[in-house]
Amino acid sequence: MEVRELVKRYPKAQTDAVDRLTFAVASGEIFGLLGPNGAGKSTTIGVLTTRVRPTAGQALIANVDVMVAPQTVRSLLGVVPQRNNLDRSLSVRQNLLFHAAYHGVPKAVRTRRAEELLEQFALTDRANEKPELFSGGQNQRMMIARTLMHDPSVLFLDEPTTGLDPAARLFVWDRIRELRASGVTIVLTTHDMDEAAALADRVGIVDSGRLLALDTPAALVRGLATGASLQVTVEPVGELGVAGLLDRLGTLAGVQRCEQIATEAAAQSIRLYLTGEAAAMVAPVAAAVAEVGGRLIGMKICEASLEDVFIDLTGRSLR
């Protein structure tokens, strides 16, 4: 799957919803598109799933241009949209069966597959009820089960776990990992850093329609100028005051920069941004605090995460 210089500007919009996006997804990979609201994630998925006409650029799935042969592309892909679009006039089971029928799955196959998927997604008990009576999480499960009915080789999941409780979220994660294991290529969008880090083989960070970075979660974090950090709480700060303590800590080898982050009564919290590993810095920091007469009352190691990558790239937090 490949996207080249993709641009989408909606009619009457002032800016491009997707702005010269270029990336490729290998077969069998889980690719995460990570970005805040309005970043253009759904629009990108819309183009790839033949529902949005690009203003410029190209999108290919299995080497087929989505604009040139939309029908061929649609037979390959499965889509779980951000918004519930289940057929409310049909029961859960019928939703699955008709979806497969639209995709030309033979009757015997779709009947068997529907029962398997209902079972797997814990929907068998209520298979004859209408979807409108179900909770958001159940609807999400139904939409995933539905799209698996025609055995897609590329799966698009637009914010598959938004609004799910922790257990349901883990359930969906497990299904996604199983699908990858069975060879399905998966593109998922999320604005949850942890989800991107936990699931995706590679993550593309998008903001305002532009791709800011693309790599494995580990490489993105490693690429940060700042690595891990240490949060140190002291009380009292010692004879040189906060400024003196900051000076002293700042000169330690392995500390890139330090700043005061909070004051609570006499206690001071200081954050040390490190160039190397955090654990190795614990002893030198403790010694330095003691040296100026301070007393250490807390220390916390904070590993860098995609959150830091995002802040580094955009200068603001996602949450």
Partner 1 sequence: MLRSFGSVLRRDIVVTGKDLVAFLAQVLLQPVFFLFVFGKLLTSLGYTSSGYSDLLFPGLVALTATVTAIQAMAFPLVAEFSWTKEIEDRLLAPLPLWAVAAEKVVFATLRALVASAVMFPIGIGVLGSIPYRADGLGLLIGVLLLGSLVGACIGMTIGTFVPPTKINIAFALIFTPLLFTGATQYPWPSLAHLRWFQVLSAANPITYVSEGMRAALVPNIPHIPGWVCLLALAGSLALFGTLGMIGFRHRAID
Ligand X SMILES: Nc1ncnc2c1ncn2[C@@H]1O[C@H](COP(=O)(O)OP(=O)(O)OP(=O)(O)O)[C@@H](O)[C@H]1O
Binding site for ligand X (CB under 6 A): 10, 13, 17, 35, 37-43, 82, 191
CB atoms under 10 Å from CB of 216, counted, come to 13
Q: How far is 287 from 284, CA to CA, in rounded Å?
A: 5
CB atoms under 10 Å from CB of 85, counted, come to 12
Which lies closer to partner 1 via its Cβ, residue 4 or residue 103?
A: 103
According to the binding rule CB under 8 A, does residue 14 interact with partner 1?
no
Q: Which option in Mg ion, partner 1, ligand X, none does residue 51 bind, with CB closer than 5 to 8 A by kind?
A: partner 1
Closest approach, Cβ 149 to ligand X, in A, equals: 25
Which lies closer to Mg ion via its Cβ, residue 23 or residue 273?
A: 23
Closest approach, Cβ 94 to partner 1, in A, equals: 8
According to the binding rule CB under 8 A, does residue 111 interact with partner 1?
no
**Single-letter amino acid code for the residue at 25:** V
According to the binding rule CB under 5 A, does residue 147 interact with Mg ion?
no
Specify burial of residue 29 (Cβ count, 10 A radius: 0-12, 13-18, 19+). Answer: middle
Among 21, 25, 42, 150, binds Mg ion (CB under 5 A): 42
* Peptide bond just before 236 cis, omega within 30 deg: yes
Which lies closer to ligand X via its Cβ, residue 51 or residue 180?
A: 51
Contact code string over 58-97 relative to partner 1, x by CB under 8 A: -------------xx-xx-x-x-x-xxxxxxxx---x---
According to the binding rule CB under 8 A, does residue 99 interact with partner 1?
yes
Segment interacting with Mg ion (CB under 5 A) among 42-50, 51-59, 84-92, 287-295: 42-50
DSSP codes, 31-57: EEEE--TTSSHHHHHHHHTTSS--SEE
According to the binding rule CB under 8 A, does residue 177 interact with partner 1?
no
Retrieve residue 198's tokens: 């936990």
Closest approach, Cβ 66 to partner 1, in A, equals: 11
Among 22, 55, 72, 82, binds Mg ion (CB under 5 A): 82
DSSP 8-state code for residue 281? G
According to the binding rule CB under 8 A, does residue 46 interact with partner 1?
yes
According to the binding rule CB under 8 A, does residue 102 interact with partner 1?
yes
Task: Check: CB of residue 188 under 8 Å from CB of residue 200.
Answer: yes
Q: Which option in partner 1, ligand X, Mg ion, none does residue 72 bind, with CB closer than 5 to 8 A by kind?
A: partner 1
Q: Which helix (H) or strand (E) covers residue 224, if one does?
A: none
Starting at the earlier edge strand, list the strands of the sheet with 202-207: 77-80, 154-158, 185-190, 30-34, 202-207, 210-215
The DSSP bridge pattern shows strands 229-234 and 267-274 to be antiparallel
Closest approach, Cβ 183 to Mg ion, in A, equals: 26
According to the binding rule CB under 8 A, does residue 53 interact with partner 1?
yes
Task: Check: CB of residue 272 under 8 Å from CB of residue 299.
Answer: no
Closest approach, Cβ 40 to ligand X, in A, equals: 4
The position carrying tokens 């604005």 is 191
Q: How far is 1 from 64, CA to CA, in rounded Å?
A: 9
Task: Check: CB of residue 306 under 8 Å from CB of residue 296.
Answer: no
Which lies closer to partner 1 via its Cβ, residue 74 or residue 202?
A: 74
Q: Which residues bind partner 1 (CB under 8 A)?
A: 10, 46, 49-53, 71-72, 74-75, 77, 79, 81, 83-90, 94, 98-99, 101-104, 146
